[in-house]
Structure 1
Amino acid sequence: MANFIVNGGRPLSGTIRPSGNKNAVLPMICASLLTDAPVRLTNVPDITDVHKLVAYFQSLGSDVDYDTTAQTLALHHKGDIDAKAIENLPLGIRSAILLLAPVLIRHGRLKFDVDAKGCALGIREIDPHINFLQAFGCETLPAQGIDMVLKSRPAAHSIWAEYASVTATETFLMIASVAEGTSVLTNAASEPHVQSLCHMLVQMGAQIDGIGTSRLTVTGAQRLEGAEMRVPDDHHEVATFLALGGVTGGRVTVETDILSEMPLILDQFAKLGLRFSQDAGSVTVTDWTREVTPPLTQQMTAKIEAAPWPYFPADLLPQAIGVSVGCTGDVLFWNKVYEGALGWSGELAKLGVRAHLSDPHRLLVFGGSKLKPAEVEAPYIIRVVVGLLIAAIQIEGTSKILKAEPVRRAHPNFIENLKALGADAHWEDD
């Protein structure tokens, strides 16, 4: 596992374009298995999870043309898919869960161990996926692990989900898109990457109403066609580079076509003293006052809450925490999604940060800390690596982030992009 070395206290400035959204491209790639027609994706990020899915499809005998330089991926899953290889899911990545519906639709059977993983955010339930598939007619056979069969075309079904799970919503969308009849999911996730999958499935022939809302109505197609889609920019990366520019005293411009997704995100970072200006197709961080915007209710502490979209995204909470360590005021961070996502906060003390973990969901960061460079260790959570970097890069001196490798799962050419903006940073192989 590689370590990340950063010499902080240097302003980052310049213009950058974000990469394609990891959370959008992975379900889009998996959905390509729903059709035997060609699918072509552009703005595909060069990340490890994409490479693992590409290797899986190559093992099936599919035609795969992945051009990392051009950021394009062409997939063609013809009728001669290797029946033995199709059940060998790449279970080392969380996105393997998104192959359940496509494999059952394409192959009719799937056996796997319940050990799909990819992060340390806490328990990631597989139950909603299995329940959704069963509702559409998939049978679960007695076995060690999971053994499921789909003997005929899925029948449409209406489901009211217990909570708005992104990946479970995507499983619903994929099986409903080929089901006979009209299906409805209430309490659906509505994140931008879920919307991207919806638009792809519509282009392939499904009819989907309610895109971007918590109720999705899907009329399935007898046969899905091919598609050509652009993977949207990653709003996490937009915010990340703005935060990095701001806390270093620089001026970073991010060129992107997803500014419509950014108002609440920018508002929450503005609570931490970051200042922004926008033009058509770009947003620039112009200043960092370090002052926390106090609530009008004097008895309360400034607060940033993360919850399912359209709330502030949980995947951006570490970045906001990284900014807050250099602020003059106190901030309460509340993660309403994951129960284990703030356990890393103890590492902040090594950087001189005064903070208190109230419970698994709430972290209070006190203002006015005397920061110092340090060696910190990241858990296997992509965005926490970035959060620790944002904290360290604002501190003069050399800091080391141990086990920083997970950042490559979502941010291609991350070091190169930082250096282009003026950062003094590099990888160190452990």
Structure 2
Amino acid sequence: MANLVVNGGRPLSGTIRPNGNKNAVLPMLCATLLTDAPVRLTNVPDITDVDKFLDYFRALGSAVSYDKAAQILEVRHPTALNADAIEQLPLRIRSAIMLLAPILLRHGRLRFDVDAKGCALGIREIDPHIAILRRFGAEQAAGDEIDLTLAGRPSAQAIWAEYASVTATETFLLIASMAEGTSVLTNAASEPHVQALCHMLVEMGATVEGIGTSRLSVTGAASLGGADRRVPDDHHEVATFLALGGVSGGRVTVESDILGEMPLILDQFAKLGLQFDVQPGAVTVTGWTRDVTPPLTAQMTPKIEAAPWPYFPADLLPQAIGVAVGCTGDVMFWNKVYEGAMGWSAELAKFGVRCHLSDPHRLIVFGGNRLKPAEVEAPYIIRVVVGLLIAAIQIPGQSRILNAGPVKRAHPNFAENLTRLGADITWEN
């Protein structure tokens, strides 16, 4: 797997636009399977997960045209999918679980192995997805494999989810969009990428109410039409570019039309001393004091908590941790979404970082560290690679991040974009 070689201590400066949101484009691709009408997506990020989905579509007999340079994708699925290819799901990526509902609606049957893996963020269970499909009438055969059948058009259902799962909410949206009647999901996830799927399904002919809230009401259509949608910018990447610019001692401007999603995210990074100038359509990181904002309650440790949207996103905790290693004060990070997602923090000690993993969900990073360049190893977690890079880029000297390849699953041309901003960063095979 590829490594990243980072020569830190160089300020990043300039203007950049983020790529399309990986977590939005993949469910939007799944939604294309709900129709045999043409669908056009723009601002499509050039990432490996998209390529794997498109390979699967081609095997199904779909017509696919993807201009990576222009970030434009056009797809049209056949009325009858290639039955021999249906079970060749790209299960090495976790988002493939969202193909279940569209395939069942189109084909009526699907079998697959339950060992679907995408990253190392603890246990990613499929039970909520299967439970939703069964509530809508899918029948599961006995055996080690998942063997599902769906006879006819499903009927609307009212479901109260155990927790606000993004992908389970998307599974609900996909099957409810073609169910007869009005389905309701309480305790729905409301992340920007979930909202993007909602808006796409509305354009295709479903009725979705409560978009952006924890209660979704979906009135299905007997058939869905095409769509022409723009994949929203990635708010994770907006924050990443700003963090890298700030800790490097530079001044980076990120242009985007999603700044309405950024206030809480910017506020949390401001706790770590990053300074921002927000203008219509652009946000600039203007400096980094390294000071941690102390709480008014003197006995408390400053903290950043991650939980389902509209809380601070769990996928941005590694980036915030990468900033905190260079701060003067202590900070506690609390991941309320994934268990064991901060075990990688042991690698930070190689940079000279003093930190303490209190339990599988909480990490304390102590301030005033004497940082040094190091060779560190990333787990198979996209955002952790970025967090380690944010640490390395602020340290003068050469660092190496081993097994950094997963970053390509979410951030196209990542090293190249940073190089244009002045970073000294290269891939090493």
TM-score (norm 2): 1.00
Partner of 1:413: 413
Correspondence 1:401 to 2:410: no
Correspondence 1:243 to 2:249: no
Partner of 1:265: 265
Q: Aligned partners of 1:103 and 1:425: how far apart in 2?
A: 42
Q: Aligned partners of 2:140 and 2:118: how far apart in 1?
A: 25
Partner of 2:155: 155
The alpha carbon displacement at 1:144 in A equals 2.1
Q: Aligned partners of 1:419 and 1:11: how far apart in 2?
A: 11
The alpha carbon displacement at 1:86 in A equals 1.2
> What code does the residue aligned with 2:29 have?
I
Q: Aligned partners of 2:34 and 2:84: how far apart in 1?
A: 18
Q: Aligned partners of 1:215 and 1:133: how far apart in 2?
A: 18
Q: Map of 1:329-340 to 2, 5 A cutoff?
A: 329-340=329-340
Note the residue ranges of structure 2 that are not aligned, 5 or more in a row.
Answer: none
Correspondence 1:299 to 2:299: yes
> What code does the residue aligned with 2:210 have?
G
Q: Map of 1:185-224 to 2, 5 A cutoff?
A: 185-224=185-224
**CA-to-aligned-CA distance 1:277-317 (integer Å, 9 cap, x gap):** 01110000001000000000000010000000000000000
Q: Specify the SS of the correspondent of 1:390.
A: helix
Note the residue ranges of structure 1 that are not aligned, 5 or more in a row.
Answer: none
Q: Map of 1:310-349 to 2, 5 A cutoff?
A: 310-349=310-349
Partner of 1:131: 131
Q: Specify the SS of the correspondent of 1:86.
A: coil
Partner of 1:72: 72
The alpha carbon displacement at 1:40 in A equals 0.6
Q: Specify the SS of the correspondent of 2:75.
A: strand
* Structure 1 runs (4+) greater than 2 angstroms displaced: none
Q: Aligned partners of 2:73 and 2:158: how far apart in 1?
A: 34
Correspondence 1:379 to 2:358: no
Partner of 1:179: 179
Partner of 2:86: 86
> What code does the residue aligned with 1:99 have?
L
Q: Aligned partners of 1:76 and 1:266: how far apart in 2?
A: 39
The alpha carbon displacement at 1:80 in A equals 3.5
**CA-to-aligned-CA distance 1:95-125 (integer Å, 9 cap, x gap):** 1101000000011000000011110000001
Query: Identity percentage over the alignment?
Result: 78
The alpha carbon displacement at 1:143 in A equals 2.4
Q: Aligned partners of 2:328 and 2:280: how far apart in 1?
A: 33
Q: Aligned partners of 2:182 and 2:313: how far apart in 1?
A: 30
> What code does the residue aligned with 1:412 have?
P
Q: Aligned partners of 2:59 and 2:115: how far apart in 1?
A: 21
The alpha carbon displacement at 1:78 in A equals 1.6
Partner of 2:56: 56
> What code does the residue aligned with 1:381 have?
I
Q: Aligned partners of 1:39 and 1:33: how far apart in 2?
A: 10
> What code does the residue aligned with 1:53 have?
F
Give the count of matched residue pairs.
429
> What code does the residue aligned with 1:119 have?
C
Correspondence 1:25 to 2:14: no
The alpha carbon displacement at 1:79 in A equals 1.3
Correspondence 1:7 to 2:7: yes
**CA-to-aligned-CA distance 1:25-72 (integer Å, 9 cap, x gap):** 000001100111111100000000000000000111100001100101
The alpha carbon displacement at 1:141 in A equals 1.0
**CA-to-aligned-CA distance 1:359-400 (integer Å, 9 cap, x gap):** 000000000000000000000000000000000000000000
Q: Specify the SS of the correspondent of 2:143.
A: coil
The alpha carbon displacement at 1:184 in A equals 0.2
Q: Specify the SS of the correspondent of 2:86.
A: helix
> What code does the residue aligned with 1:204 have?
M
Q: Aligned partners of 1:80 and 1:168: how far apart in 2?
A: 26
Q: Aligned partners of 2:122 and 2:251: how far apart in 1?
A: 36
Q: Aligned partners of 1:170 and 1:340: how far apart in 2?
A: 24
**CA-to-aligned-CA distance 1:188-247 (integer Å, 9 cap, x gap):** 000000000000000000001000000000000010000010000000000000000000
Q: Specify the SS of the correspondent of 1:85.
A: coil
> What code does the residue aligned with 2:301 have?
T
> What code does the residue aligned with 2:37 have?
A
Q: Aligned partners of 2:258 and 2:229: how far apart in 1?
A: 15
Partner of 1:122: 122
Q: Aligned partners of 2:145 and 2:314: how far apart in 1?
A: 30
**CA-to-aligned-CA distance 1:116-142 (integer Å, 9 cap, x gap):** 111000000100000000000011011
Q: Specify the SS of the correspondent of 1:319.
A: helix
Partner of 1:356: 356
Q: Aligned partners of 2:190 and 2:316: how far apart in 1?
A: 17
Q: Aligned partners of 2:271 and 2:144: how far apart in 1?
A: 50
Q: Specify the SS of the correspondent of 1:98.
A: helix
Q: Aligned partners of 2:25 and 2:336: how far apart in 1?
A: 25
The alpha carbon displacement at 1:87 in A equals 1.6
**CA-to-aligned-CA distance 1:245-273 (integer Å, 9 cap, x gap):** 00010000000000000000000000000
